[in-house]
Amino acid sequence: MHLLQFRRWSESAGTFPKRLVTVLILGLGIVLGIAGIGLSQGSFLPQNSLSEPTAPSAEVERVETGIFAISVYDIDLATNSFYADFYVWFKWKGAIDPITYLEVTNSISDWSMMSVPAHPEPERLPNGSFYQISRVEGRFLQSFDLKHYPLDQYNLSIFMENSAYTTDQLVYVADDQASGYSQFLTIPGWSIVGSAIESLVRTYDTNFGDPRLPSQSEHSVLCYSLNIARPWSFFVWKLLLPLLIVLASSCAALLLAPQHIDSRVALPVTALLTTVFLQETYADSLPDLGYLVLMDQVYVIAYILIFISILEVIITAYWVDKNEEIWTKRVMWADSILLSLQIIVMATGLIWLVTQA
């Protein structure tokens, strides 16, 4: 008699948790599917016309060029730009002046860019080379891919190109030994990973309307990049920890006695409203985007878990109204199963998203 009653209770009580497991698996599958699309790694060089140079011939004038960053500031994710202050130097042998037609192709405001040469005229070095150094300050365009926010990492790049001479006349050779950045350079809110400088080639598939020019031309480009990353402490302590506390308060509803229906409903509902507020807080610092960033995907998991908690306490409230001890046990059993599943899903989803980023 008792064995038969227990079997009926197990079958009845097992229906609701099984449905919750199905919903949790489907929800996590949707999140991971969105994340798989959204977390594709982008290139730090947005100009797809850039390529690696070939070895120049002996007739081509080689200009050894280096950049040393002094300060970088006002990194604006909304306008995709940043300010930089740096030294740039040139060493060359030949009749072509590599500075006259030099352009900073990703500068935003040429009129506001300051370039101050250290010498009125290029100086002669003991080996016969010409030498000139200038200090440059200005605002530069940088496309920020925010898919990995707040674990994002960027290359703040400066592109210099000679618009008058092609690669069969002049090439810029990166001086990677002397290039770099100041040991006193700091960027609030960011960690400096390193810097790099390289010589590239930009190809133009046009003669710019001049029939005297070939239909395709190649120009030498110098690219200097300062690699920066957002510190983990920002993600863990300022964004993730408050969300986990809110989720813990939502899960706390499942630890309350089934008879406390008002408190069991109020906790996850309050957690839902708080989660919306927390998401708006960090979203206000980002530009309008057409895709989900990493933190958005973490919040999608949180929304699914909170919604399931609300659904669970509402449905089990009907069981408690029966005022039978067997139904109270069913609620407590369902609560324990759901609580364990929520912890597993949140931990698994969070680890997967972070490792993908």
For the stretch 201-212, pLDDT in tens is 998 888 788 888
- Joined together, the tokens standing for residue 104 give 């900073």
For residue 125, CA distances in Å to 102, 130, 237 come to 22, 6, 54
**At 176, which helix (H) or strand (E)?**
none
Which residues of the chain carry a pLDDT beneath 50?
Answer: 1-14, 16, 35, 37-48
| pLDDT score for 19 | 55
| pLDDT score for 331 | 76
CA dihedral 323, 328, 329, 331 (to 10 degrees): 140
pTM, full prediction: 0.78
**At 182, which helix (H) or strand (E)?**
none
| pLDDT score for 196 | 96
Q: Quote the CA–CA distance of 16 and 252 in Å, as a whole number.
A: 20
3-state DSSP call for residue 160? Answer: strand
Q: What is the pLDDT of residues 10-52, one digit of tens each?
A: 444 445 455 555 555 565 555 555 545 444 444 343 444 777 7
